[in-house]
Structure 1
Amino acid sequence: MAKDFLSSVLCIANRSEGFRKQLMQRVMKVRLLIITVLISFNAFAQDDYSLSPVEFSGYVKDVQTVFVPYGMEENWLSDNAIHNRLKLKYYYKDWLTFDIQARNRFIYGDFVKFFPDYAKYAQSSNYFLDMDYVWLNDSSAVGLSELDRLYFQLTKGDWEVTVGRQRINWGMNLVWNPNDIFNTFSYFDFEYEERPGTDAIRVKYYTSITGSAELVYKAGEEVDEMAFAGLYRFNAGSYDFQFLGGFMGKDLVLGTGYSGSIKGAAFRGELTYFKPRQIYDYTINKDGVVVSSVSADYTFSNTLYLHAGILYNSSGASGKAGQIQLLSNQELSPKMLSRGKFNLFAQTSFSITPLITANLSSIINPDDLSAFISPSITASLSDNFSTSLFGQFFMGSADTEYGHIGQIAYLRFKYSF
């Protein structure tokens, strides 16, 4: 896939820039329109806010991306994306709440131009209900909107029932979550901080202030696209523990996790066993797959933050793991959080000033010696406006997990309201 993509770039990298200039004029008009509408919404939402059962908020982000593909250092690719998120929560009764959140994106530039069917790539593919709309699909620009949260929640005593598109997070670690069987996410997709949701029914019972039991059913057109599982969580001492079981698609799942702290340092761990529900002659990993992750993090008094973790995947490769596919809309799976058998994670961050934070994170495959390194710096310019600069550097030889991909830089401006 990567070779086809790079070949198409070489073939048309020198096309005329006339259309881009026209597109830039259109983009400026779109930006002004979005900002005007959002300011109006913000002013409206703040009127009598304390007395209103309605909460309205959101943000607008402008992200400029520059990609230098491996082996094509003289052909830089760039695109720009305007992200807008609108969040509306309505407290109809003290026992009934509605939540709706819309994600709107306008993307233009080389990625759209050179990557076939970019609109399909940008759309979410793991939902049962179709609630996205592509309102622009030109040769160099794509515009789309989707509802990634749409649910109502009933609360009665210790019971809680949530129906609709929602975020179900069973993970305990901060990077790799084998227990998160409903909403797996990619660490590389840092721009989607809310993480994807799922179309599900969730019934939860609070056994205590720190304990709960829940059942979740994820909808699907076929059994292999559905999931049904239960989770029991409780506290013992300074640690939270959880156990889960059920089925996810074609696999039975059984897992456990923990999180706690010792003298200010946080420790987390997750383990999930995946066993095929049906076994055929062609079934891979007939004995099942074990995925586990452990991590620890600590924040010093001077704001220095340290975080380290390790991921184990029993079905991962011990040698060259094969290149990850960044430009893919395939649904992520907790069974395949890495291509390699082991991955190591390290992160540090530090507040240079109260308004400026620097961060450095890395992932290394110790078997094929490929690596991912991501430096970033964020400056808070006001209470609701910030700017950030991110880098994503992939290094390694051919056919390794993070090799022969290239380098990516992002410049982001974000306004929250």
Structure 2
Amino acid sequence: MKLFTASLVTLAMLTAAGPAAAESKPLEVSGYYKNLSIFTESLVTGEDIYATINRLRVELFKEVNPWSFQITLDNELIGNDFANTPDFAAIRSREQQNTSVWDGDKTSVDNDHVYLRHAVYRAFAKYYSPDFQVTMGKQGIDWGVMRFYSPNDIFNTVGPIDLERDERVGVDAINANFTLGSLSGVNAVVVPSDDEEEFMAAVKVYRTVETYDVALITAIIREQVIAGITFDGYIKSAGFRGEINHNHQDDGRNFLRASVGVDYSFSDKTYVLIEQLFNGGVDKNAAATFLTDFKANRRLLSLEKNLTSLWLQYKITPLLELNQYVIYDWDGNSAVYNPELSYNLTENTDITAGVQINFGDNGSEFGDTPDLYYAQFQLFF
């Protein structure tokens, strides 16, 4: 934490010492209001439970060439009827005191029915030049190319059927990119921490080879040593991508993870994507925390080794879209089916409704997960 704070202070000093004649642009203010209502069953008691999430996000962006600065603030109120059950642990496990070096969260109310949280969602400064870019602060970092399970998305990856896939837990990092010509470069990320168990550092070397973007990565992520390769390109008019890595964990386990996928647009209305995951790092002993602990869930990636994921998208009208997500677990013979309708109500207003239906026996990938129904309203400004 001390190192991270010192890094930000150094950045501020460098910024202040920049050219006085730097071009300054007006402050940009944007954001959204979102209401997400969820209805499901308790993992523990089987009783019906609900949560309604109300989030007001305000984003401030200022550009002073060659620097830019962004801070994103959230005020989030969750009304619910299960705060005193173990089910609510899944929400509390995402608090920044559990996921980040710098705790930018403040919970002002946490009682039987109301959970009110104020958070710094993003806070970073970025320097840009054609040959070198660096971002320092709380930011989102995505090294993956897969839609569902992404082995090389090593910084707080997003779950395969998360309801808010665009809400990535931030990383308090120094993220530097060195451009080596127009088609290649080196990306280095360091997450400074006084706690060895939270320290993260990674290097990605990337290059465009014909129709493919290829990257090699090596990383230390919370005492895991990871080496991998990513590719993303085309076979004729179909997209073809994949991620492969080798993990060495602090408990001595060594294993391989790999995911490959193909996608194709049959028309302006119809899109299909299919992906296959092999996860050699499954740990059945950790199944109890998989559904309730954010860090455990992202570290394990899945409970079973072999999963096939399918995404079918059909645009009913230019404003109305049907998405269907299916994941099948070959080892536990379980599955989840997630149909979702989205409608662009106005230029800056979207509404979404869907259901996640789970099939399978207890102990399988989806057998212990109760069905879930949701509806969302989002207004951008």
Which TM bucket (shorter chain)?
A: 0.7 to 0.9
Match of 1:392 among 342, 345, 356: 356
- Aligned residue for 1:62, secondary structure, equals strand
Change in Cα spacing, 1:229 to 1:79, as seen in structure 2 (3 Å) is: closer
Report the Cα distance in structure 1 between the residues aligned to 2:130 and 2:51, rounded to whole angstroms.
Answer: 50
Write the letter of the residue equivalent to 2:82: F
Q: Cα offset for 1:98?
A: 0.6
Q: Which residue of 1 aligns with 2:330?
A: 366
Report the Cα distance in structure 1 between the residues aligned to 2:289 and 2:338, rounded to whole angstroms.
Answer: 16
1:169 lines up with 2:142 in the alignment:
yes
Q: Is the 8 A contact 1:321 1:400 kept in 2?
A: no
Match of 2:256 among 290, 310, 314: 290
Deviations 1:130-189 (A, max 9, x none): 110112222210000211211111123411111111111111112222112223222232
Gaps of 5+ in 1: 1-50
Report the Cα distance in structure 1 between the residues aligned to 2:309 and 2:327, rounded to whole angstroms.
Answer: 5
Change in Cα spacing, 1:127 to 1:321, as seen in structure 2 (3 Å) is: closer
Match of 2:271 among 305, 328, 331: 305
Report the Cα distance in structure 2 between the residues aligned to 1:70 and 1:201, rounded to whole angstroms.
Answer: 38
Change in Cα spacing, 1:52 to 1:378, as seen in structure 2 (3 Å) is: same
Q: Which residue of 1 aligns with 2:174?
A: 201
Q: Which residue of 2 aligns with 1:410?
A: 374
Q: Is the 8 A contact 1:323 1:403 kept in 2?
A: no
Q: Which residue of 2 aligns with 1:76?
A: 48
Q: Which residue of 2 aligns with 1:222?
A: 195
- Aligned residue for 2:187, secondary structure, equals strand
Change in Cα spacing, 1:380 to 1:157, as seen in structure 2 (3 Å) is: closer
Q: Which residue of 1 aligns with 2:76?
A: 105
Q: Which residue of 2 aligns with 1:139?
A: 112
Write the letter of the residue equivalent to 2:39: V
Q: Which residue of 2 aligns with 1:327?
A: 292
Q: Cα offset for 1:116?
A: 7.3
Deviations 1:245-284 (A, max 9, x none): 13222222211010001232111100111124x6xxxx35
Q: Which residue of 1 aligns with 2:4?
A: none
Q: Is the 8 A contact 1:321 1:399 kept in 2?
A: no
- Aligned residue for 1:350, secondary structure, equals strand
- Aligned residue for 1:195, secondary structure, equals coil
Report the Cα distance in structure 2 between the residues aligned to 1:242 and 1:382, rounded to whole angstroms.
Answer: 39
Report the Cα distance in structure 2 between the residues aligned to 1:410 and 1:338, rounded to whole angstroms.
Answer: 23
- Aligned residue for 2:344, secondary structure, equals strand
Deviations 1:97-133 (A, max 9, x none): 1111123210012132544775734523210011101
Report the Cα distance in structure 2 between the residues aligned to 1:388 and 1:131, rounded to whole angstroms.
Answer: 29
Change in Cα spacing, 1:368 to 1:88, as seen in structure 2 (3 Å) is: same
Write the letter of the residue equivalent to 2:321: T
Q: Which residue of 2 aligns with 1:345?
A: 309
Q: Which residue of 2 aligns with 1:25?
A: none
RMSD between superposed Cα atoms in Å: 2.4
Q: Give the TM-score normalised by the residue count of structure 2.
A: 0.87
Q: Which residue of 1 aligns with 2:131?
A: 158
Q: Is the 8 A contact 1:184 1:332 kept in 2?
A: no
Match of 2:66 among 89, 95, 99: 95
Q: Is the 8 A contact 1:323 1:400 kept in 2?
A: no
Q: Is the 8 A contact 2:289 2:296 kept in 1?
A: no
Gaps of 5+ in 2: 1-23
- Point out the structure with max Rg over C-alpha: 1
How many residue pairs match? The answer is 356
Write the letter of the residue equivalent to 1:328: D
- Aligned residue for 1:112, secondary structure, equals coil
Q: Is the 8 A contact 2:246 2:256 kept in 1?
A: yes
Q: Is the 8 A contact 1:227 1:247 kept in 2?
A: yes
Change in Cα spacing, 1:138 to 1:309, as seen in structure 2 (3 Å) is: same
Q: Cα offset for 1:190?
A: 2.2
Report the Cα distance in structure 2 between the residues aligned to 1:290 and 1:406, rounded to whole angstroms.
Answer: 30
- Aligned residue for 2:316, secondary structure, equals strand
1:179 lines up with 2:145 in the alignment:
no
Write the letter of the residue equivalent to 1:338: S
Report the Cα distance in structure 1 between the residues aligned to 2:135 and 2:277, rounded to whole angstroms.
Answer: 32
- Aligned residue for 2:83, secondary structure, equals helix
Write the letter of the residue equivalent to 2:334: S
Q: Which residue of 2 aligns with 1:7?
A: none
Percent of residue pairs bearing the same amino acid type: 24
Write the letter of the residue equivalent to 1:306: V
Q: Which residue of 1 aligns with 2:281?
A: 315
Query: What does 1:123-138 align with in structure 2 at a 5 Å threshold?
Result: 123-124=95-96, 125-138=98-111
Report the Cα distance in structure 2 between the residues aligned to 1:374 and 1:116, rounded to whole angstroms.
Answer: 21
Change in Cα spacing, 1:259 to 1:211, as seen in structure 2 (3 Å) is: same
Q: Is the 8 A contact 1:103 1:148 kept in 2?
A: yes
- Aligned residue for 1:111, secondary structure, equals coil
Q: Is the 8 A contact 1:356 1:378 kept in 2?
A: yes
